[in-house]
Structure 1
Amino acid sequence: MGKIHGERTVDIEAPIQRCFDIAADIQNAPAWQGTLLDVDVLERDGAGRAAVADTKSDAKVKHVTTRLRFTYEEPGAIHWVQEKGDVKSLHGWWRLEDLGNDQTRASYGLEVDPGRVLGLLLRGPVEHQVRDFLLGKAAEGLKRTAEEG
């Protein structure tokens, strides 16, 4: 079993700063992100955003616990990497592009090495279902939340 990777892109009828502010509010992301169940912020950066957080996510076949470190490039990107957790490695990102006229293109991506034990649960078609499940909920959740306000 190799890495699970993918990216999902959506166009959002909202300004880039609004999209960034929603995506950067890591502590409240479980309300809209779908697969993220719980966040406990351990450290904050100089702007008050989550720098390190323990998270619990629904990976469809198992709940996965990770400690993530976040970096921000306002308003265009957010990156996170796993410091420790249930998977061997994890890197994720949001990339936001200002399309003008208060429209934003948002791309949500993940690269996950599930490791040997979790990898045994993710064989064949289940791997594709898990990848689609993880990617789709975040991108669609950001779109729905940004367009509601």
Structure 2
Amino acid sequence: MSRIQARDSYEYPYPPQKVYSILADIPGYKSWWPGEFRVRILEQTRDHLHAKIEVWASGGWFRCETTALNFPHRVDIRYYQGVVLGESWWDLEELANGNTKVSYSINLEPHGRVMGYVARIINISALHSFQFQRVLKRLHRHLDSLQAQES
């Protein structure tokens, strides 16, 4: 089967600590992800580790959970059920200007007959990157909104 691999990045004018707190809280994605990604909270944890969500996207649904947290550098997420299975992670890099470069990487495998077939005829990695640019931009708007509330 075709693996689904992608890495998408975006630069934010905020320190890594501020961005990390949003990314580590996957149940919180429901409040800032684009509306067509329906997020359902399955399990919320105080420390964000092993929090679980279900996401319905254009290609089907999947469930994922946080598996490792390394403040303020990385958040690891495992896709454990649905149309894809595998690993993903957020990397946060503090830049010299005080900004943060955020990258989201996926290393997934299509799961199920339908998704396996679709993955052979459509470049799902490119489709994921196209859709995920909107997620990264929504994160920017969400951070701007939080900053405005603090001011």
1:81-96 counterparts in 2 under 5 A? 81-83=78-80, 85-87=81-83, 89-96=85-92
- Over 3 Å counting, the alpha-carbon distance change for 1:30 and 1:74 in structure 2 is same
CA distance in 2, matches of 1:113, 1:103: 33
102, 107, 111: which one aligns with 1:106: 102
Q: Which moved more, 1:15-24 or 1:31-40?
A: 31-40
Count of residue pairs brought into register by the alignment: 144
Which one scores higher on RCO, CA 8 angstroms, separation ≥ 6? Answer: 1
CA distance in 1, matches of 2:84, 2:126: 20
CA distance in 2, matches of 1:10, 1:95: 11
Deviation (angstroms), 1:88: 5.0
- Over 3 Å counting, the alpha-carbon distance change for 1:5 and 1:24 in structure 2 is same
1:105-124 counterparts in 2 under 5 A? 105-115=101-111, 116-124=113-121
Deviation (angstroms), 1:129: 4.9
SS at match of 1:20: helix
Structure with the higher strand share, 1 or 2: 1
Q: Confirm or deny: 8 A CA contact 1:110 1:135 kept in the other structure.
A: no
CA RMSD of aligned residues (A): 2.4
CA distance in 2, matches of 1:65, 1:97: 28
CA distance in 1, matches of 2:48, 2:98: 24
Deviation (angstroms), 1:128: 4.9
Deviation (angstroms), 1:43: 5.2
CA distance in 2, matches of 1:102, 1:39: 34
Alignment of 1:63 with 2:64, yes or no, is: no
Q: Which residue of 2 aligns with 1:136?
A: 133
Partner AA of 1:147 in structure 2: D
SS at match of 1:29: helix
CA distance in 2, matches of 1:63, 1:134: 14
Q: Confirm or deny: 8 A CA contact 1:109 1:135 kept in the other structure.
A: no
Structure 1: unaligned runs, 5 residues or longer: none
Identity across the alignment (%): 19
Structure 2: unaligned runs, 5 residues or longer: none
Alignment of 1:4 with 2:4, yes or no, is: yes
